[in-house]
């Protein structure tokens, strides 16, 4: 009886506070056991992490050095704007390129250039050019060139990292050729498309206003014909020595004497007729410019996939302008060629030949990363091995 009162039945639950204390004690014991396992395997952990990290650091230190060169470009909005607009403006009639100065680059010009430079199409061109430039024994090293274009401030910075040092001049010349001669072709292609759209929009405006002008011309002719059939007024009713002043005679011609009203109507007819003729001439001129720009765009689109430089495009334009007998189109092409020449002459780095210096290897940083990774791997391996060993040990 006594034993039955003192013993705890098997199915009676253990109090919660006692169970929590037991779990905490077991966790502490397990954590201490873990430290004991790690301390017992400290030499293995050291050999598996410290020694490989030292060896990797020595490898990074003794590995061939990369060399770096940096070019800075002061690229503004006008340096890539090469297309004359060809549209007349109200402030300066007859001048070409009145509004095309900002077509090439806007306030995000540097970002646009960087995106174009880093595009897959341009990088493929650059890579192919690098591989084609070197001899067979150096082709692999040249293809490892690392070229970046960024805009840390007002200047565009092109950083070139490569090896060996004797090939850096060749790598730099290829990178510069891509940025200074090939990249402007992308701007030319975009500007050609924008200019064609502008000319077509201007042609659409002329077509839209043609009906209203013809309707106004018909109305003015009818007014003039009817005014001529009106009999003269009594001269006694006309006040002498009266001078009429109008800010706009065309809109207030009905207040003039009859003879002057007829003259004003005829003058308006002449003005509308000449405006229609001028609009038709503009329409024909814009149509010719659309055909010309579409021809240039087709040539650029056909050769953009290859390593097509702006100098080659300039040469083709020089050949085209010599074949044009139309003076207006020849003048347009001449202005175009002058702008291309301006791009080719101004798109140069601030320092023509920057210093080529060894690029930092980051030996310490790389060694620390290797050490941290190996330390985690060896620690996990030791703990995993200890668990497997305990499970395989026979029960005592």
Beta carbons of 185 and 343 less than 8 angstroms apart: no
Tell how strand 156-162 and strand 357-358 pair up. unpaired
The whole-model pTM stands at 0.60
Angstrom distance (rounded) from CA 16 to CA 7: 19
Mean pLDDT (whole number) for 39-65: 81
Instruction: Find all residues with CB under 8 Å of 254, minimum gap 6, and list them.
Output: 261
Residue 25, judged by CB atoms within 10 A of its CB (0-12, 13-18, 19+), counts as: exposed
Residues 103-120 have a mean pLDDT of 70
Q: Is the model's pLDDT at 382 over the cut of 70?
A: yes
60: nearest Cα among 375, 357, 358, 367: 367
- Rounded CA-CA distance 1/381 in Å is 55
Provide the residue ranges of all domains of the chain, joining segments of one domain with +: 2-59+361-392, 64-232+239-358
Give the residues across from 147 on adjacent strands.
Answer: 160
For tokens 């659309």, the residue is 290
- Work out whether the CA dihedral 225, 231, 232, 233 comes out positive or negative: negative
Of the chain, the end-to-end C-alpha distance in Å amounts to 35
Instruction: Dump pLDDT digits (tens) for 60-70.
Output: 777 777 788 88
| pLDDT tens digits for range 238-267 | 544 545 455 555 556 665 667 777 777 788
Q: What is the pLDDT of residue 233?
A: 55
Contacts of 1 (CB under 8 A, 6+ apart): none
pLDDT over 50 (residue 50) = yes
What percent of the chain has a predicted confidence (pLDDT) above 70?
73
**Position 185 confidence tier, pLDDT thresholds 50, 70, 90:** confident
Task: For residue 267, give the nearest of 231, 196, 217, 337 by alpha carbon.
Answer: 217
Q: pLDDT digits over 330-367, tens only?
A: 888 888 888 888 877 777 888 888 888 787 777 788 88
Strand order in the sheet with 357-358: 146-150, 156-162, 67-73, 357-358
């Amino acid at each position: 009886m006594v034993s039955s009162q003192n013993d705890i039945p098997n199915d009676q639950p253990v109090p919660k506070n006692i169970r929590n204390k037991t779990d905490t004690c077991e966790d502490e014991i397990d954590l201490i056991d873990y430290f004991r396992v790690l301390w017992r395997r400290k030499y293995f952990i050291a050999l598996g992490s410290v020694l490989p990290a030292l060896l990797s650091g020595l490898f990074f230190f003794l590995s061939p050095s990369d060399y770096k060169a940096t070019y800075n470009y002061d690229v503004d909005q006008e340096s890539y704007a090469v297309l004359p607009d060809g549209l007349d403006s109200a402030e300066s009639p007859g001048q070409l390129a009145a509004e095309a100065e900002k077509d090439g680059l806007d306030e995000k010009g540097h970002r646009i250039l960087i995106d174009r430079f880093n595009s897959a199409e341009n990088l493929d061109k650059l890579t192919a050019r690098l591989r084609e430039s070197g001899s067979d024994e150096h082709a692999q090293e040249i293809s490892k060139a690392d070229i970046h274009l960024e805009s840390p401030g007002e200047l565009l910075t092109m950083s070139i990292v490569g090896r060996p040092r004797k090939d850096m001049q060749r790598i730099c010349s290829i990178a510069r050729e891509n940025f200074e001669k090939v990249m402007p072709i992308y701007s030319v292609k975009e500007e050609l498309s924008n200019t064609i759209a502008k000319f077509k929009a201007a042609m659409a405006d002329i077509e839209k206003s043609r009906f209203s002008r013809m309707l106004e011309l018909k109305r003015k002719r009818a007014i003039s014909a009817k005014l001529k059939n009106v009999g003269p007024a009594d001269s006694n009713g006309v006040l002498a020595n009266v001078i009429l002043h109008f800010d706009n005679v065309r809109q207030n011609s009905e207040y003039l004497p009859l003879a002057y009203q007829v003259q004003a109507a005829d003058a308006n007819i002449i003005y509308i007729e000449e405006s229609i003729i001028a609009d038709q001439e503009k329409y024909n001129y814009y149509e010719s410019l659309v055909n010309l720009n579409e021809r240039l765009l087709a040539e650029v689109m056909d050769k953009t996939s290859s390593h097509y430089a702006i100098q080659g495009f300039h040469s083709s334009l020089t050949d085209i302008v010599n074949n044009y007998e139309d003076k207006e189109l020849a003048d347009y092409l001449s202005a175009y060629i002058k702008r291309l020449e301006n791009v080719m002459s101004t798109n140069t780095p601030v320092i023509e030949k920057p210093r080529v210096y060894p690029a930092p290897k980051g030996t310490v940083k790389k060694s620390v990363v290797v050490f941290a990774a190996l330390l985690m791997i060896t620690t996990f391996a030791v703990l995993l091995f200890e668990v497997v060993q305990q499970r395989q040990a026979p029960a005592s």
